[in-house]
Amino acid sequence: MAFGRSSGGRKKRPVEPVTLKILVAGGFGVGKTTLVGAVSEIRPLRTEENLSEAGRPVDDLHGVEAKSTTTVAMDFGRITLREDLVLYLFGTPGQDRFWFLWDELAQGALGAVVLADTRRLEESFAAIDYFERRGIPFTVAVNCFEGAARFPSESVRAALDLDADVPLVMCDARERESAKEVLVAVVEHAMAVAARTREPVTT
């Protein structure tokens, strides 16, 4: 009789997943809270407050007149892309007066999504500038709102003055699979940027 543990009876050790931090940014009302909520596998943490009369002079509701709430700190969600890869999602507030929170949220981030609305592309400029200045890899995701005009990717890229290596994708922030594809694009782009920075310089 042979003694000892049978290799066939051994349980596979659980995989310790790598956790990555991704920001979901963009202007006021572009769909950041919606995207985090659509894709998160846990009940997302939200810090939404009702819009008030006091905020009307500083909150530009042009194009989002039906919006009644706003994020005042952050949204938080989580999604497992693979058994060994988990993303923590942090949605940033959109209004100018809350931008002081961005530096805190950006610490340790692998990359970011900049959500854009073709009806108000100018709302995306500040987020794009922010990540360019700090060297944080980002992907622009055009949220295809109902009733909004559709434009070729090349036209949107030109209007946003994006560098050639910045990915631009179309999405529906309400749909889980569409939002997931955006996050995959961010991770792949950030990994590619990190790999390029590790490449030895040749002379």
- Give Cα 136 to chain centroid, integer Å: 12
Look at residue 61 in the predicted model and tell me its pLDDT: 47
Mean residue pLDDT of the chain comes to 82
Look at residue 3 in the predicted model and tell me its pLDDT: 45
Higher pLDDT, 64 or 166: 166
What's the rounded Cα separation, in Å, for the pair 182 and 196? 21
Look at residue 9 in the predicted model and tell me its pLDDT: 54
Looking at the whole model, is its pTM more than 0.85? no
Q: What percent of the chain has pLDDT over 90?
A: 57
What's the rounded Cα separation, in Å, for the pair 2 and 160? 70
Let me know if 60 is exposed, middle or buried by CB neighbors in 10 A (0-12, 13-18, 19+): middle
- Give the range among 10-14, 26-30, 42-46, 72-76 with minimum mean pLDDT: 10-14
- Give the range among 44-48, 86-90, 113-117, 129-133 with minimum mean pLDDT: 44-48
Look at residue 64 in the predicted model and tell me its pLDDT: 46
What angle separates helix 176-198 from helix 32-39, to the nearest 10 degrees?
100
The model's confidence at residue 29, banded by pLDDT at 50, 70 and 90, is: confident
Look at residue 108 in the predicted model and tell me its pLDDT: 95
Higher pLDDT, 69 or 158: 158
Arithmetic mean of pLDDT, 49-64:
47
What domains appear along the chain, each with residue ranges and CATH number?
Answer: 23-198 (3.40.50.300)
Is residue 139 within 8 Å of residue 163, measured between CB atoms? no
Residue 69: how many other CB atoms lie within 10 Å: 11
Arithmetic mean of pLDDT, 102-122:
93
Arithmetic mean of pLDDT, 78-107:
85
pLDDT digits (tens, 9 = 90+) for 129-165: 999 999 999 999 999 988 778 899 999 999 999 999 9
What's the rounded Cα separation, in Å, for the pair 58 and 195? 42
